[in-house]
Amino acid sequence: MLLPRLARLAPSLLPKRPPTYASFSTTSPAKMKVVPVPVRDDNYAYLLIDEATNKAAAVDPYDVPKVQAAAEKAGVQIVAGITTHHHFDHSGGNQAFSAAYPGAPIYGGSNKIPALTNQVKDKDEFNVANIHVRCLATPCHTQDSICYYVTDKSGTHPGGVFTGDTLFVAGCGRFFEGTGAEMHAALSYLATLPPQTVVYDGHEYTKSNLAFAKSVDPENAALARLEKLITDGVSPNERTTIGDEKEWNPFMRLDSAPIRKATGGGEPGAAMDALRTLKNNFRG
């Protein structure tokens, strides 16, 4: 687990990148804040906080006591639950969450999600206090996978997206309920978000994803930048954006020459299936 937070690092340790990818720096007071809460062995729950009201939503609150402790430490009131998909390691805390917060809505993409109160679909919108949430349907890992794009009215935060098990840092989720074509569509959809959008994913798989990416895209200079960020201890929940992922994530680079060589090319769905098979079998 990578512990140091981006805000605590000396400026000399920060990656050199175009300004658009550095705009989520914590030097300006933001009205929206995201706090990762590690749960299980490698999962992330999150608190999505509106600092103007000290109200928050809990994203995938698998371990409710840990999420409650994080909320108490942050001095915020939890008013909603958000679920990225129905798998137990993401939705398994919903019954306990509902019991702890009986008036709080729980958003999610299907009735397979425990304690669901508000089923959402693509392009649905809702608010958590002053934070605007837009739902992006990304079926593949599960057919009810929803990514949540969040922005605040102040404009001081660059926006973020909770991607569950669809998009990881330098990787993507397995195709348990979908196809390569569906994952290609899902990642292409996420790629339309502003490049400065911060990615909040569902698992800490960064080191293994980096190793695989280097095996299929060894000359990609962006991967060296990601490796340095890991070495420097920058949290994956604060260091990566949609713009970054388009540079270093092999699953978002199907048209690049190295990935076409690794997969044998072909149409995007077939290439995605081939790349996922390579990742599934990778032991590097």
Active site (annotated) includes residue 89: yes
Has 201 been annotated as catalytic?
Answer: no
- Which residue in the list 86, 90, 157, 184 is annotated as catalytic? 90
112 neighbors 159 (Cβ within 8 angstroms): no
**Helix runs in 63-115, H state only:** 64-74, 88-91, 94-100
Beta bridge partners of 245: none
Among 165, 217, 244, 273, the one annotated catalytic: 165
Question: Of 85, 86, 157, 184, which one is the catalytic site residue?
Answer: 85
Active site residue 184: no
Which of 208, 207, 206 minimizes the C-alpha distance to 281?
Answer: 208
Q: CA–CA distance from 205 to each of 135, 168, 236 (Å)?
A: 24, 7, 10
Structure tokens at 281: 């079998």
Q: Of the listed 50, 60, 87, 184, which one is catalytic?
A: 87
Matching residue, tokens 């490796």: 227
Provide the CB-side half-sphere exposure for 79 (13 A, CA).
Answer: 16
> Is 141 among the catalytic positions?
yes
Is 85 in the active site?
yes
Which of 86, 157, 184, 203 does the annotation list as catalytic? 203
Indicate which residues carry an active-site annotation.
Answer: 85, 87, 89-90, 141, 165, 203
